[in-house]
Amino acid sequence: MAATIRDVARASGVHVSTVSRTFSAPHLVNAETRNRVLAVAEDLGYRPNRAARALTTGRTHNIGLIVADISNPFFPPLIKAAQAHARTRDYHVFVADTDEDPQVEEELIQTLAKQVDGVLLCSPRLSNRVIERLHAEVPFVVVNRRVKGMPTILMDVGQGARLAIEHLTGLGHRRIALLSGPSGSWTSGEMRAAAAAMDGVELVILGPNAPTERGGLAVAEEVIASGVTGVLAYNDLVAIGLIEGLYERGVRVPDDISVVGVDDIVAGRLNRPKLTSVAMPTAAAGRMAVDLLLQSFDEGATPTLATLDTHLVVRESTDRAALFPRG
Amino acid sequence: MAATIRDVARASGVHVSTVSRTFSAPHLVNAETRNRVLAVAEDLGYRPNRAARALTTGRTHNIGLIVADISNPFFPPLIKAAQAHARTRDYHVFVADTDEDPQVEEELIQTLAKQVDGVLLCSPRLSNRVIERLHAEVPFVVVNRRVKGMPTILMDVGQGARLAIEHLTGLGHRRIALLSGPSGSWTSGEMRAAAAAMDGVELVILGPNAPTERGGLAVAEEVIASGVTGVLAYNDLVAIGLIEGLYERGVRVPDDISVVGVDDIVAGRLNRPKLTSVAMPTAAAGRMAVDLLLQSFDEGATPTLATLDTHLVVRESTDRAALFPRG
């Protein structure tokens, strides 16, 4: 049987309201009493009721975390890092999945707004205009989208795309396909912009593609027809699906075509060939998102912008361009 | 600007409390008024405030869904099916990850209890005793654990384990390793019990293992040393890691050792060799969990027990036993 606030009050010799205040407004309780109450609470294993505390502090100590697709392995490391970090700050994280649907995303934000202290919005598919409007209802931290006036964390995928394409051109590839992602994706836009700005590359942009293995399988035929020898895929799932689709059509990776993914997920490391990939700082972004959100509670929404570096991990799916490419 | 309850009241010519009652207790509003209010609300795009409605109906229209590890691809199809199905019933699903830690699981249940109408508890790591105690705080549906007195959905992984072992013995394998999962796992216990009850098998049980690729990599050496020619792994991630670990040690799958996984995740289908696996009815379980929970709200917690069939999908990671096995 867990200890109640009454048990703590009785054992400390104070009124229950003093125990309540000790947890919700400790600065209003004198130090001696406060220390006694906290020591007794610890002895008895008393856990303050979050809901009750929320009534006095206006805080639920819950954070919402919204992702585009929970089954995309890009998100779990971010979710788990945010959760673990939030727990050390006495917050719980609840996750909702928008299924890549902007309407569902908006609905979930409105529901969460009433139940949590703030929302981490990861890879949103909503327009900036709608995000700015919803921001009036609940504090946000936005991950992988640049939105005016709110704390933002960007993973520098443009830099990653440049590293990937330099790696391919360094191996002698000239004609390179960029497989873009979903149309609402900031990441996809950044990759396109970075790739289009590079010299010495014949860039072929194919997409939008579903950000899944299926998306990669579906674009394989087009990749072969485009006559490229190198490919930068929107993410590792697309890269893995593409490699499978090429393999089924007798095109080998990296012998015939080199493929680079993005995200550096575990499945890419276990793929055969092991995937060359742009590693994204997902765990760091998850932790930082929690920090920026909690800071914004204390100090008002400082529109901090943090940009985190990406880097390229070279494995087996990229090699020198064939001298006489197919097609 | 979204329409408010006042807009609807003004346009319908009724008091706001009538609009509120129309949504929260429609049987208390006469039919003519009710129909007019609902028509006006639809015209104006009015969305009743769930939090306000919760105050009158005692329902939040939110469901919590607790999983052991959000990064395990077993869970996302269940989560996504539960979400999509709940949405058609006007419920939102919020997900929390226990990181395979029973203490975190208990804490999350207690937090969710105050914010949702019920909790879907998937592959819990808590003891049945603790689950029964927490059930006093919030309605549960339990997935993949048999707990007295509450609605339960089981995926018949014992049947799946039998199918997998029959498949292996049919290919001439006699000495077979079972790689068990985490110690709190009901699934792992069911697989062990089913395998141990089978005739004509020399069973070697290795574990507990972490339910991840890393767990599979770590047990590869032991699998080789055990002299088995066939392996049934706790799940596909363990199987994929094991195949990689065997490959690094020069042992080929299926030539030297046949490997069967459980869950039939996408990564297994894209693995090389493509994984033979026990397919789990995760999406069906997710939908049914929502149905049983909503039924329990209406009818009290009927302790329904639903057992869903599993089946074996044979692909490339299993073949005839080598006549002269290594070791």
B12: domain range? 5-57
* A213 neighbourhood in chain B, CB within 8 Å: 266, 270
Question: What's residue A188's pLDDT?
Answer: 94
Strand partners of residue B232: B178, B260
Confidence of residue B117 (pLDDT cuts 50, 70, 90): very high
- Asked if the structure places residue A107 within a domain, the reply is yes
Q: What is the CATH number of the domain that holds B175?
A: 3.40.50.2300
Q: Are residues B125 and B261 in the same domain?
A: no
How do B311-313 and B276-279 pair as beta strands?
antiparallel
Contact criterion met (CB below 8 Å) for B192 and B158 = no
- Asked if the structure places residue B127 within a domain, the reply is yes
Nearest CB partner across the interface for B266, out of A51, A92, A213:
A213
Q: Are residues B128 and B74 in the same domain?
A: yes
pLDDT tops 60 at residue B294: yes
Counting beta carbons within 10 angstroms of the beta carbon of residue A225, is it exposed (0 to 12), middle (13 to 18) or buried (19 or more)? Answer: exposed
Confidence of residue B274 (pLDDT cuts 50, 70, 90): very high
Q: Are residues B27 and B175 in the same domain?
A: no
Q: Are residues B130 and B162 in the same domain?
A: no
Which tokens belong to B199?
A: 């005739």
Q: Are residues A216 and A129 in the same domain?
A: no
If you write DSSP's letter for every residue of A162-203 in order, what string do you get? HHHHHHHHHTT--EEEEE---TT-HHHHHHHHHHHT-SS-EE
Contact A70 B76 (CB under 8 A): yes
Contact B70 A76 (CB under 8 A): yes
Provide residues of A within 8 Å CB-CB of chain B. 47, 49-51, 60, 62, 64, 70-71, 73, 76-77, 79-80, 83-84, 87, 92-97, 99, 104, 107-108, 110-112, 114-115, 213, 240-241, 244, 266-267, 270-272
- Asked if the structure places residue B196 within a domain, the reply is yes
Question: What's residue B299's pLDDT?
Answer: 67
Q: Are residues B17 and B108 in the same domain?
A: no
Question: What's residue B296's pLDDT?
Answer: 87
Confidence (pTM) = 0.77
Q: Are residues A103 and A212 in the same domain?
A: no
Which tokens belong to B279?
A: 């397919």
The ipTM is: 0.73
Strand partners of residue B308: B155
Which tokens belong to B2?
A: 């979204």
Name the closest residue on chain A to residue B217, using Cα atoms. Answer: A270
- Asked if the structure places residue A80 within a domain, the reply is yes
Q: Are residues B148 and B293 in the same domain?
A: yes
Of the listed ranges A126-140, B19-33, B236-250, B262-276, the least confidently predicted one is B19-33
A188 to chain B nearest CA, in Å?
Answer: 23
- pLDDT < 70: residue spans in chain A: 1-2, 21, 23-29, 47-58, 299-302, 323-327
Asked, as a colleague might, if the bond just before B102 is cis with ω within 30 of 0, I would say no
**Helical (H) or strand (E) element with A64:** strand A62-67
Question: Half-sphere exposure of A251 toward its Cβ, with a 13 Å CA cutoff?
Answer: 26
How do A276-279 and A311-313 pair as beta strands?
antiparallel
Contact A70 B213 (CB under 8 A): no
Question: d(Cα A277, Cα A239) in Å, to the nearest integer?
Answer: 9
Contact A62 B111 (CB under 8 A): yes
- Asked if the structure places residue B139 within a domain, the reply is yes
Nearest CB partner across the interface for B270, out of A60, A84, A240:
A240
Q: What is the CATH number of the domain that holds B11?
A: 1.10.260.40
Q: Are residues A105 and A217 in the same domain?
A: no
Q: Are residues B168 and B147 in the same domain?
A: no
pLDDT tops 80 at residue B75: yes
- Asked if the structure places residue A317 within a domain, the reply is no
Question: What's residue B55's pLDDT?
Answer: 47
Q: Are residues B114 and B35 in the same domain?
A: no
Provide residues of B within 8 Å CB-CB of chain A. 47, 49-51, 60, 62, 64, 70-71, 73, 76-77, 79-80, 83-84, 87, 92-97, 99, 104, 107-108, 110-112, 114-115, 213, 240-241, 244, 266-267, 270-272
How many distinct structural domains can be found in chain B?
A: 3
Q: Are residues A268 and A295 in the same domain?
A: no
- Asked if the structure places residue A197 within a domain, the reply is yes
- Cα dihedral A223, A227, A233, A234 sign: negative
* A104 neighbourhood in chain B, CB within 8 Å: 87
Question: d(Cα A212, Cα A218) in Å, to the nearest integer?
Answer: 10
- Asked if the structure places residue A325 within a domain, the reply is no
Instruction: Encode pLDDT of B157-212 as tens digits.
Output: 999 999 999 999 999 999 999 999 998 789 999 999 999 999 999 999 999 999 99
- How many residues are given for chain A? 327
Domain boundary pick from A16, A34, A57 = A57
B162 to chain A nearest CA, in Å?
Answer: 28
Instruction: Encode pLDDT of B20-52 as tens digits.
Output: 767 655 556 677 887 788 888 888 877 665 445
